[in-house]
Structure 1
Amino acid sequence: MIYLILSVFISSSLFVIFKLFDKYQVNTFQAIVINYITAFCCGFFFYGNGITLTEMIERPWNIGAIILGGLFISVFILMALTAQRNGLSVASVAGKMSVVIPVIFAVIVYKEHLSTLKIAGILLALLAVYLTTVKNDGGTFDRKKLLYPMLLFLGSGVIDTAIKYIETNYVAKGETPIFSAGIFGCAFLAGIIILFLRRDFKITGKTILGGILLGIPNFYSIVFLLKALRPEHIGDSSTVYPINNVAIVMLSTIFGIILFKEKLIVKNWIGIAIAIISIVMIAISAQPVNA
């Protein structure tokens, strides 16, 4: 459970860093690209155990890392487009409610059992995500603008599902950090291509610093999540992903209140309360019956 707690805390801190990007006028996309090379370096130099780039390319998870790297950049762009066209609340809801995709996949492919308590907890988690992020405008979807939210929903769900599948079937024990580095390295290459296509070459020192400060926690957020998904820890996708997603939304909201004096409506507070209840229910359902 400690790895899941660390992943939630670090992932929530990423939203704080993004918020600071706005305050200090950091070029967000450039910082994202720098963040990816920083995260790659964290894994390659600190956890590579002497592995070379050639050896990384020969790993059985290499193709999966390439696909995930492209998905990371694509989902980031979709998140930005959804926030611009539909609002930040819709982007957050679409991204976090995608938890249903890896849960369904886990039940079908890994034959994970969904107890009545866990099903109720997952449904409450979805409700909590919505209520925590909805604003005074109602936060509802415009049916004419469903394309980007739907693509974001699918993309986020595919990433979570693919990470678990590749990590389970192709990543050897002890290689989780270097696998994470591989994903970030591929995401960096995809980001560089996009920067060249956009001819976005002007970069500032604060953007570089912002990218570095984002990349270090971003690396560990993925590493800890993957460790939590390991069979010797929690392992159960239908437990890890719902708790992870709803806890991130809840903690990010709390950070917003404390650090940035953000105002919440009654629905948001109800959402936080439901989030806590859902996390407890899912956690209890994950415990062995005869423990």
Structure 2
Amino acid sequence: MWDLIWSICCSSLIFVVFKLYKRFEIQTFYAIVVNYLTAFSVGFVLYDQPFRISAIISSPWFPGALMLGALFIVIFNLMARTSQLLGVSVASVATKMSLAIPVVLGVWWYDEVLGPVKIIGVLLALVAVYFSSVKKRNGPFVMRSLYLPLLVFLGSGVIDSSLKYLETHLVARSDFPVFSAMLFASAATIGIMGVLIQQPYNLVRFRPLNIFGGIALGIPNYFSIFFLLRALQTEGLNSASIFTLNNVSIVMLTTLLGIILFKEQLSWKNWMGIGMAILSILLISFY
């Protein structure tokens, strides 16, 4: 149970760090690149098996890891933008409600049965993203701003679905640690290439705050996955229960942290959206 608690804390901390980037004027994209270098380094240090590049490149999951790495860095930037503009609770709900997407794709890929209760859960997840995103502003609400949580929702769902596919068909259990490290390494490499193409001089003028911000993000980013994997091995709890407890707890903890740390104001619509989010996770996971 402690592994699950640590995973929840690390995942929630990611959204808080994103929010702090704006306060300390940290350049999000560069910090995210450092974050992935940090996460890869932590995984490499903790991996106690022989590390052979040739074997990794020839692995069947290697092309998928490269593609997922690219998606990781895009979605992380969108998560950061969502946290900064709309609040940590919005980013958290949009990310965790992506649980609905693997459920829907599971019907297609694995011939899973999607009963009426799960259909209601999927629809509730979509509505929850909207209601949790509507914020009070000085001016009229701009509908255009909803594209951020929507993209986070869709992108996170694609990541979860792709990971499930790769783990089921291509990645052996013994390869999971190095597979995870390669995801982070791929994301970092693609990020560095993006900097070299767009603004190469920024690598020379790299601000120390970006490095510190990336390290602060990379450590909880790695351990959020590390502890979740350990939690999935807990006897007496199936994976549906673990994922449900994980997602619901992250939504609630990030909401509380947003209120306590950043004085985020939640309207009755936001609270209703969060309530729908919790209900949809329960419906999707247990029925």
Same fold (TM > 0.5): yes
SS of 1:259 mapped into structure 2: helix
CA distance in structure 1 between the aligned counterparts of 2:189 and 2:206, rounded to whole angstroms:
17
The 1:147–1:234 alpha-carbon spacing in structure 2 relative to 1, beyond 3 Å, is same
Deviation of 1:42 (Å): 1.4
Map of 1:277 onto structure 2: 279
Candidates 86, 89, 103, aligned match of 1:88: 86
Candidates 256, 263, 267, aligned match of 1:254: 256
Q: Is the CA contact 2:40–2:184 (under 8 Å) kept in the aligned structure 1?
A: yes
> TM-score scaled by structure 2?
0.79
CA distance in structure 2 between the aligned counterparts of 1:248 and 1:9, rounded to whole angstroms:
8
Report Cα offsets for 1:28-76 as digits up to 9, x if no partner. 2111001101111111220242323333223321111111111112334
Q: Is the CA contact 1:125–1:278 (under 8 Å) kept in the aligned structure 2?
A: yes
Q: Is the CA contact 2:117–2:283 (under 8 Å) kept in the aligned structure 1?
A: yes
Q: Given the alignment of the two structures, is residue 220 of structure 1 paired with residue 223 of structure 2, yes or no?
A: yes
Q: Is the CA contact 2:38–2:218 (under 8 Å) kept in the aligned structure 1?
A: yes
Deviation of 1:176 (Å): 2.2
Q: Is the CA contact 2:101–2:161 (under 8 Å) kept in the aligned structure 1?
A: yes
> TM-score scaled by structure 1?
0.78
Map of 1:16 onto structure 2: 16
Map of 1:110 onto structure 2: 110
Q: Is the CA contact 1:132–1:250 (under 8 Å) kept in the aligned structure 2?
A: no
Map of 2:69 onto structure 1: 69
Task: In structure 2, list runs of 5 or more residues that go unmatched.
Answer: none
Map of 2:54 onto structure 1: 54
The 1:174–1:235 alpha-carbon spacing in structure 2 relative to 1, beyond 3 Å, is farther
Q: Is the CA contact 1:6–1:224 (under 8 Å) kept in the aligned structure 2?
A: yes
Report Cα offsets for 1:259-284 as digits up to 9, x if no partner. 22211111122233333433444454
Q: Is the CA contact 2:244–2:282 (under 8 Å) kept in the aligned structure 1?
A: no
Q: Is the CA contact 1:31–1:211 (under 8 Å) kept in the aligned structure 2?
A: yes
Q: Is the CA contact 1:35–1:212 (under 8 Å) kept in the aligned structure 2?
A: yes
SS of 1:106 mapped into structure 2: helix
The 1:121–1:240 alpha-carbon spacing in structure 2 relative to 1, beyond 3 Å, is farther
CA distance in structure 2 between the aligned counterparts of 1:151 and 1:129, rounded to whole angstroms:
11
Map of 1:289 onto structure 2: none
Map of 2:160 onto structure 1: 160
SS of 2:173 mapped into structure 1: coil
Aligned residues: 279
Map of 1:40 onto structure 2: 40
Q: Percent identity?
A: 48
Q: Is the CA contact 1:10–1:217 (under 8 Å) kept in the aligned structure 2?
A: yes
Map of 1:210 onto structure 2: 213
SS of 1:220 mapped into structure 2: helix
Q: Is the CA contact 2:32–2:77 (under 8 Å) kept in the aligned structure 1?
A: no
After the TM superposition, which of the residue ranges 131-140 and 189-198 deviates more from structure 2? 131-140
Q: CA RMSD in A?
A: 3.6
After the TM superposition, which of the residue ranges 205-214 and 245-254 deviates more from structure 2? 245-254
CA distance in structure 1 between the aligned counterparts of 2:259 and 2:147, rounded to whole angstroms:
31
Deviation of 1:140 (Å): 6.6
CA distance in structure 1 between the aligned counterparts of 2:225 and 2:243, rounded to whole angstroms:
12
CA distance in structure 1 between the aligned counterparts of 2:135 and 2:2, rounded to whole angstroms:
32
Task: In structure 1, list runs of 5 or more residues that go unmatched.
Answer: 286-291
Deviation of 1:135 (Å): 0.9
